[in-house]
């Protein structure tokens, strides 16, 4: 039946009734999922419902959510379909509107139904057994294509079945079952992950963790493990389903970047160099920590930093700085400042405008203290003292 014929008010009333049933009331994830897709559909945005929008708007995932490595939306959609099917199959169900999540899409469907009275056999499921098997095959194919491992465990967290973990680790299924899978984790990660996993099983909180897994060749690779509980109609956990996604390359790339940045920071500190940047629009300045030693400040308006420069050097600095802020030339200047302790310092600064999409860019550069270059050499100073 067309949703206009059913009426938005009736659909929202059915939604509220569903959200107050134990299976959904005890699962914030499922409640948020269902409420979001129904309200988006009623607002005319049902065709725009995708994994990314559901994950970031309803399930609390960050803006860098990647559906290729994170199966949370697919898992929760599958779980929601099961819960809805159980609700409407209950002979005591008195809801007048049926809300379903059809396979292959996230836009819900709405259907007017007569309240089911006691003694009436439940309606047959909309999806035949063949359709369920096909859905299962498609889901497993998608997991395999995304290089993820799928697994199931009992309510207590003991592993029941895996799909792909044995091939990765070289361990047979019997070795992995129960809590044997913990032996495949890196020794430094094992205790922490076991503690976290047991706590999730006790509280019903979804698992979201990173850890290293020993692969068939003996090397350890970083994996992203996520799991959600599947609940019975009374709200108790029937089983857990989860995935492991290989994120080793991303983790190692991030670690290499952190190492590179730390080396650069140490090198700049050793050379007494200060990194800085200026927002051309707001003219706000941000400096690295060495700015405290050089000037007593690391952030503030550009005018405050320019006020430190000796008046006779300021025109030369502005002649190079202003074109650089407009992106017309690079910035290169040597000048004197009076620092926060009243001492005279010579600084040398260079920079250029780095443009970024959607903004005017930032003038980024480095500066170093070159006061020693202008100090009298010891021998020259001694010659002057002798001649005097």
pLDDT digits (tens, 9 = 90+) for 156-176: 999 998 888 888 888 888 899
- CA dist 60 and 261 (Å) reads 30
pLDDT exceeds cutoff 70 at 143 = no
Greater pLDDT, 25 or 323: 323
Question: Which two tokens mark 372?
Answer: 């020693």
Mean pLDDT of 185-211: 93
321: Cα within 13 Å, side-chain hemisphere: 21
Residue 381 pLDDT > 60, yes or no?
A: no
Structural domains for the chain: 1-132 (no CATH), 147-263 (3.30.450.20), 271-374 (3.30.450.20)
Span 285-313, mean pLDDT? 91
Least confident range from 84-93, 180-189, 302-311: namely 84-93
Question: In the predicted model, what is the mean pLDDT of residues 118-146?
Answer: 49
Reported as a pLDDT band with limits 50, 70 and 90, residue 150 is confident
Angle at alpha carbon of residue 297, lines to 292 and 303, rounded to 5°: 145
Task: Tell me the pLDDT tens digit for each residue of 223-233.
Answer: 999 998 888 87
- For residues 383 and 150, the model is more confident at 150
Residue spans of beta strands (DSSP E) within the chain: 97-100, 109-112, 148-153, 159-163, 207-214, 220-231, 237-246, 273-278, 284-287, 299-301, 331-338, 344-354, 362-369
Predicted confidence at residue 379, as pLDDT, reads 42
pLDDT, averaged across the chain: 83
178 C-beta neighbours (distance < 10 Å), count: 15
The C-alpha angle 72, 206, 57, rounded to 5 degrees, equals: 50
pTM flag (> 0.75): no
pLDDT tier, 349 (very low <50, low <70, confident <90, very high otherwise)? very high
Rounded-to-integer distance, Cα 239 and Cα 109, Å:
27
- The mean-pLDDT minimum among 14-23, 60-69, 143-152, 343-352 falls in 143-152
């Amino acid at each position: 039946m067309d949703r206009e014929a059913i009426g938005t008010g009736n659909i929202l009333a059915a939604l509220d009734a569903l959200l107050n049933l134990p299976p959904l009331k005890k699962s914030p994830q499922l409640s948020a999922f269902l409420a979001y897709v129904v309200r988006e559909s009623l607002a005319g945005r049902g065709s725009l419902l995708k994994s990314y929008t559901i994950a970031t708007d309803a399930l609390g995932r960050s803006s860098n959510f990647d559906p290729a490595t994170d199966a949370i939306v697919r898992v929760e959609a599958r779980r929601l379909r099961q819960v809805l099917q159980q609700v409407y199959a209950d002979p005591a169900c008195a809801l007048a509107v049926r809300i379903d999540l059809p396979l292959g899409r996230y836009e819900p469907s709405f259907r007017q139904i007569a309240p089911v009275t006691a003694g009436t056999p439940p309606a047959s499921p909309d999806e035949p057994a063949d359709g369920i098997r096909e859905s299962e095959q498609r889901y497993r194919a998608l997991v395999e294509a995304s290089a993820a491992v799928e697994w199931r465990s009992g309510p207590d967290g003991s592993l029941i079945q895996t799909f792909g973990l044995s091939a990765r680790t070289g361990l047979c299924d019997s070795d992995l079952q129960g809590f044997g899978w913990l032996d495949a984790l890196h020794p430094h990660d094992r205790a922490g992950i076991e503690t976290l996993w047991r706590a999730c099983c006790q509280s019903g909180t979804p698992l979201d963790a990173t850890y290293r897994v020993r692969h068939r060749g003996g090397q350890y690779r970083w994996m992203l493990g996520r799991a959600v509980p599947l609940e019975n109609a009374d709200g108790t956990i029937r089983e857990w389903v989860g995935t492991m996604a290989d994120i080793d390359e991303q983790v190692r790339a991030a670690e290499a970047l952190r190492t590179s940045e730390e080396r650069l920071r140490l090198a700049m500190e050793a050379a007494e160099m200060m990194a800085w940047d200026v927002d051309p629009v707001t003219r706000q300045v941000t400096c690295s920590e060495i700015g405290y030693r050089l000037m007593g400040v690391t952030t503030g308006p550009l005018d405050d930093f320019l006020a430190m420069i000796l008046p006779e050097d300021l025109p030369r600095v502005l002649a190079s700085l202003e074109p650089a802020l407009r992106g017309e030339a690079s910035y290169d200047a040597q000048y004197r400042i009076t620092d926060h302790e009243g001492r005279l310092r010579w600084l040398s600064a260079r920079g250029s405008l780095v443009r970024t999409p959607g903004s005017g860019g930032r003038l980024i550069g480095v500066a170093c203290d070159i006061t020693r270059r202008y100090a009298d050499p010891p021998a020259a100073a001694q010659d002057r003292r002798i001649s005097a």
